[in-house]
Amino acid sequence: MNSRRTFLQHLTVSAGILPFAIGSSAYIQPESEYIPEVQDGPVLKVALMGLGSYADRVAKAMQDCKRAKITGLISGTPDKLESWGAKYDVPEGSRYNYENFDAIKDNPEIDAVYIITPNAQHHGQCLRVAAAGKHVICEKPMSINAQEGKEMVEACEKAGVKLLIGYRMHFEANTLNAVRKRQNGDLGEVKFFQGLSGFIIGDPTQWRLDKDLAGGGAMMDIGIYAINGARYMVGEEPIWVTAQEVKTDPVKFKEGVDETITFQLGFPSGVIASCLSTYSMNYLDKFFLLGDKGFVEMQPSTGYGPIKAWSHDGDITKPHVTHQTTQMDQMAAIIYDGKKPEIPVDGEEGLKDMKIIDAIFLAVKSGQKVNLNLG
């Protein structure tokens, strides 16, 4: 089954031939200078919920983690529980299905649950995990609308547990380097951002094309990268959005399942972000941030890596480290050490993206500019 994740993986292979290097005089620092340090501390014991293709990627990456370990499994497929349990040394007593996973409450070998299930299931599963007293790590988008996201934040706050969203790019070296260049004034005054996110989706029967499971189409899958990227690259919160939808295949993309949406975000400083989210075009994984003194460009910008980045003064690509390995180690530090990430990954961060997605769908429907209040 094709997915954004398969596409992004393939995209990085072809990206090696892109003309990303502008000049060759940029100083290349030793690899050790870019890899985020992981302080010694307690190991986060994690149960993976939803044992699909992305969970497989996360599980493999976690084998290299210093502070996160797989200690539990939750799935509706008994065969997966058995095979994954054997592969990752998870005892039968820490394997659960979707009916009985509330029993994790009494399992001291589970500190957190990483929810990697279809979007529409995140809300209910998050509330149950929080009620069991375990920290929640939830894949993006955190829910199918802002109301559900708000309830997830409130449930975790009430239970006294952390809610973190799987924004792996917030820990990625090239992304952080690009953001720092803007913060340091290397680009001057920011003027414009472009975010392109898309691929041609395959199997028409997959859950990502089922509105009841996905909550939409491309926007709820690949489009959130452009939304979230616009926010951390520009360094402001948008105050309005306009959007237009194009649908060329109403059979594959049924009512409520978007094929292609172009959208524009306006920021308080006057910066405009022009973005595209699509399930019908390949080779779209690009960020471009322009200032009055320079620019930063990334392509691929959100794939599994290696990410490629360059600016007006040369190649700024950092060495590749598996994103999910860094993500899980850093999330352990957030939960146990109170570490504050450079770019937030908490529930409030996820909720802001959901408010923007709600507004994009409203702008498509109404044809009008929709004001945003992300406070």
As annotated, the active-site residues are 140, 225
Separation CA 310–CA 188 (nearest Å)? 16
In sequence order, what are the residues at sequence separation of 6 or more whose Cβ sits closer than 8 angstroms to the Cβ of residue 183? 235
Bond before 36 cis per omega within 30 degrees: no
Separation CA 8–CA 201 (nearest Å)? 12
In sequence order, what are the residues at sequence separation of 6 or more whose Cβ sits closer than 8 angstroms to the Cβ of residue 163? 126, 130, 135, 136, 138, 152, 153, 156, 346, 347, 350
Separation CA 28–CA 11 (nearest Å)? 25
How far, in whole angstroms, is CA 8 from its chain's centroid? 13
Helix spans in 184-255 (H): 211-214, 223-234
For strands 163-165 and 135-138, give the pairing: parallel
Cα angle 167, 173, 179 (rounded to 5 degrees) comes to 80
| Strand ranges across the sheet with 68-74 | 95-96, 68-74, 44-49, 112-115, 135-138, 163-165
DSSP state of 105: G
CA distances from 186 to 71, 194, 274, 296 (A): 44, 18, 22, 10
